Amino acid sequence: MAVPYNHLEIESKWSRRWEEHPININDGKKPKYYCLDMFPYPSGAGLHVGHWRGYVISDVWARYKMMDGGHYVIHPMGWDAFGLPAENYAIKTGQHPSISTENNIRNIRRQIKQIGAVRDWDMELNTTDPKFYKWTQWIFVQMFRHGLAYEKKMPLNWCPHCKAVLANEEVVDGKCERCGSEVTKKNLRQWMLKITAYADRLLDGLETLDWPEKVKKMQTDWIGRSYGAEVDFPVDGSDEKITVYTTRPDTLWGATFMVLSPEHPLAKKLASPEQADAVEAYCQYASGRSNVERVQNKEKTGVFTGAYAVNPLNHRKVPIWLSDYVLADYGTGAIMCVPAHDDRDFEFAKKFGLPIIQVIAKDGKEIPDMQEAYTEASGTMINSGDWNGMESSVLKQEAPMIIEKMGIGRKTVNYKLRDWVFSRQRYWGEPIPIIHCPKCGAVPVPEDQLPVLLPDVESYQPTDTGESPLAAISRWVNTTCPCCGGPAKRETNTMPQWAGSSWYFLRYVDVHNDKELVSREKADKYLPVDMYIGGVEHAVLHLLYSRFYTKFLHDIGVIDFDEPFQRLFNQGMILGPKGIKMSKSLGNVVSPDDMVRDYGCDSLRIYELFIGPPDQDSAWDERGIDGVNRFLKKFWNLALDSIDADVKATPEMIRIRHKLVQDITMRLNQFALNTAISKFMEYNNQMAKIAQQTGGIDKETIAVYVTLLAPFAPHIAEEIWERLGHTDSVFHQPWPEADARLAADDEKEIPVQMNGRTRAVVRLAVDAAKDEALAAGRDALKDRLDGVQLVKEIYVPGRIINFVVRK
């Protein structure tokens, strides 16, 4: 009997061995493969089994790539360490965020090391390290110089509880994403990044990426490019004009009124004396409502301004209303309303008794009393002057050009994407490297003075004026202008947590460089990322910001590529026992630590993969790990017994060997890692059965099995590999190749039929001769064929045997 499988001994032996003799060596000749995990936020709760799974998946892939193609694999780890939790902890305890952050990192680093992954720890980075954020600030300065960072006063989402401005994407259903409080509005000066300047490239670039279609669709919708027209409506009896944005200029004849957002610059100006008070009151009411409330499909509200505009096409007078279903920051903040063909306009017209004119008719027939809008862009134009009789879908395409020629408007492109609100009124973030001078305005901190260090403060509490706690440190705030030398003040806002994560992946490959963000030589050699692995919750924000930064850094010559992540894999979540998301507050967080101790790293790795398809959510069920552990023990015994027995390969063993290579490689390439594990188990059972007869499996087949298993369970694989007599690491083996001919089954199950009905099944050699096959078939149906008249015998090799009989 073999020595028993002792995971503690084996795993500590190999983690030591790999530390002394690293297996992932950059000899300068191997091709590189950059496999990156989305780096974690070092929270106080540590890693749970869900985080762990993501890192196992990426490590299986990294190790596979080391063997397949002999790559030098770049597989680093770092910490996305600025952010609110550390700051809130500081507010509660007075402990500096850098201290709690450092403690958390120490714990998570220990946990990550337990995964037994190939990692380049000398590339480790931390976004709160001044050596790192120097470059986060440097990028901001470059963006400022290129006109992509600007200041703007605007009504922003304000969380009264966090006392912070929130980006649109941090507001979920009108509530703060972090604390769940109702979000209100506050007018504040903000730093903005002009991501909209890259909208087209961010869209077009998606086509080149090997990403899940779902994520590409989410980014496409988020950017929201639509083609339409702007149309100018002169205000009746005034020199003013109102420009509307419409995607349906074909419906211009049906525009019976206009609606401006309450924030539109003309909103109050247009009000007639009789309507002035009502307009004022309505604007007041609307200012208290969030964008989310405004677009929700609740009952429409609004007010008539008392003014009229003129439809530039048919010169009819149309009343001008205000309503908050028109958003100030989309299009032009004003719309022409076509109630017959738009749901919201229809509802508004019904409520306020405004005229409805149908201009598109399905089958050319006008609807007598419309009960709902006809919103399809297909049908025949009616009530539309010269346009009558045209097909609306054709007109929709042509109308922008027609309008442009008539001089009443122009064709336009519009985006849902907004510029990025880039400042936070909080302490624990990168200071924005800007100095405000009364004479020179906003001046960037000279590059040789970066980083602008985050100073210590006495109180981390944000102020309810909307300023960051940094504003209270006058020593730090008061400085001199880099331009004129006069007295000036530092910007006290800090960057959002997204800042560091928008570019960190470029830094790993040159993490100690204090002259450049990344040397061009290293960037050319090791970047971009070939495979990026992380949760789908980052589909729009982080993944869009990173693409924006990468394109900008490409444009200023820092790097030579403009997409950061060639391939993306989104792992599913591990849910708590009842299918609920794991969270500290629910007390359903499962830590990997005990399981690593009791079953070993290899067992937990395999179990994390076995639990379900890696791209889907799976509920955690601890009981299954026993079975996985038994599987490894069984394989261990089989392998060691086989080494002792040293048997010759039978054709069956050779077939299993090649089939295994086919099955595992295919599943790896499809990321079907859970079914790869089932295959290992299945073949292990098959081999164990054969070994009962033969005393063992040939060493070559065991070696191939071990090589395939190595990315999944690296420690046990190395140990058996060594016991097979090898002195080099199994990870220096090329990935095994299958010979399809040898993998083909040489026996097959063939149905045996009588008059077309299957009555039995026989196992036959694939190339069995007709006589032999029919004899086997007759034998299988011996009882049934007794006493009947055999009319015909049919044999289709490899497929079927059929006896036609007469009773």
Tell whether residue 480 is a contact of Zn ion (CB under 5 A): no
Stretch in the footprint of Zn ion (CB under 5 A) among 51-59, 307-315, 409-417, 478-486: 478-486
Contact pick of 127, 190, 219, 251 for ligand ANZ (by CB under 6 A): 251
Cα separations (Å) of 159 from 83, 191, 259?
16, 18, 30
Pick between residue 262 and residue 331 the one whose CB is nearest to ligand ANZ: 331
Main-chain dihedrals φ then ψ at residue 726, nearest 5 degrees: -90, 145
Q: Which does 439 bind (CB under 5 to 8 A by kind): ligand ANZ, Zn ion, none?
A: Zn ion
d(CA 556, CA 791): 84
Vertex 232 angle, CA 231 and 238, to 5°: 160
Among 50, 76, 331, 592, binds ligand ANZ (CB under 6 A): 331
Least spacing, CB of residue 469 vs ligand ANZ, in Å: 36
Nearest distance, CB of residue 197 and ligand ANZ, angstroms: 19
Q: Closest CB to ligand ANZ among 184 and 247? A: 247
Q: Does 437 bind Zn ion (CB under 5 A)?
A: yes
Choose among ligand ANZ, Zn ion, none what residue 484 binds, the Cβ cut-off being 5 to 8 Å by kind: Zn ion
Q: Which residue lies nearer to ligand ANZ by CB, 137 or 246? A: 246
Tally of CB atoms within 10 A around 184:
15
Write down the least CB distance from residue 227 to ligand ANZ, Å: 9
| Structure letter (DSSP) for residue 289 | S
Interaction mask 195-234, ligand ANZ, x per CB under 6 A: -------------------------------x--------
From 126-134, 328-336, 760-768, 790-798, give the range in contact with ligand ANZ by CB under 6 A.
328-336
- Residue 656 engages Zn ion in binding (rule: CB under 5 A): no
Q: Which helix (H) or strand (E) holds 33?
A: strand 32-37
CA angle 546–547–553, rounded 5-degree value: 90
CA distance 556 to 715: 45
If phi over 0 gives left and psi between -120 and 50 gives alpha, with beta otherwise, what is residue 192?
beta
Q: Is residue 481 part of the contact set for Zn ion (CB under 5 A)?
A: yes
Q: Among 531, 549, 536, which residue's Cα sits nearest to residue 615?
A: 536
Of the candidate residues 91, 197, 361, 440, the single one contacting Zn ion (CB under 5 A): 440
**Run of H or E including 310:** strand 303-310
Nearer of residues 291 and 753 to ligand ANZ, judged by Cβ? 291
The one-letter amino acid at 618: S
Structure tokens at 340: 């017959």
Binding-residue total with Zn ion (CB under 5 A) = 6
Contact of residue 247 among ligand ANZ, Zn ion, none (CB under 5-8 Å per partner type): ligand ANZ
Residue 248 binding ligand ANZ, by CB under 6 A: yes
Residue 338 contact partner, candidates ligand ANZ, Zn ion, none, CB within 5 to 8 A by sort of partner: ligand ANZ
The DSSP bridge partners found for residue 228 are: 412
At 437 the three-state DSSP class reads strand
DSSP string, 172-240: ETTEETTT-PBPEEEEEEEEEE-GGGGHHHHHHGGGG-B--HHHHHHHHHHH--EEEEEEEEEBTTSS-
Amino acid, res. 719: E
Site for ligand ANZ in 288-327 (CB under 6 A): 326-327
Does 245 bind ligand ANZ (CB under 6 A)? Our answer is: yes
Q: Cβ of 795: how many Cβ atoms within 10 Å? A: 21
Q: Which of 247, 461, 674, 675 binds ligand ANZ (CB under 6 A)?
A: 247
Helix axes 673-694, 699-709, angle to 10 degrees: 160
Exactly one of 330, 352, 561, 671 binds ligand ANZ (CB under 6 A); which one?
330
- Smallest distance from Zn ion to CB 440, Å: 3
470: burial class by Cβ within 10 Å (0-12, 13-18, 19+)?
A: buried
291 or 701, CB closer to ligand ANZ? 291
Single-letter residue type at 228: G
Is the Cβ–Cβ distance between 64 and 668 less than 8 Å?
A: yes
CB of 295 to ligand ANZ, least distance (A): 8
Instruction: Indicate which single residue of 172, 367, 406, 484 sits in contact with Zn ion (rule: CB under 5 A).
Output: 484
Which of the stretches 331-339, 532-540, 555-563, 720-728 binds ligand ANZ when contact is defined by CB under 6 A?
A: 331-339
Name which position in 483, 645, 654, 742 contacts Zn ion (CB under 5 A).
483
Q: Which does 159 bind (CB under 5 to 8 A by kind): ligand ANZ, Zn ion, none?
A: none
Using CB distances below 5 to 8 A depending on partner kind, what does residue 481 bind out of Zn ion, ligand ANZ, none? Zn ion
Question: Binding ligand ANZ by CB under 6 A: which of 188, 335, 434, 691?
Answer: 335
- The region that residue 224 occupies, defined by phi over 0 for left and psi between -120 and 50 for alpha, beta otherwise, is left
Which residues contribute to the site for Zn ion (CB under 5 A)?
437, 439-440, 481, 483-484
Which residues contribute to the site for ligand ANZ (CB under 6 A)?
226, 245-248, 251, 326-327, 330-331, 333, 335-336, 338, 341-342, 414
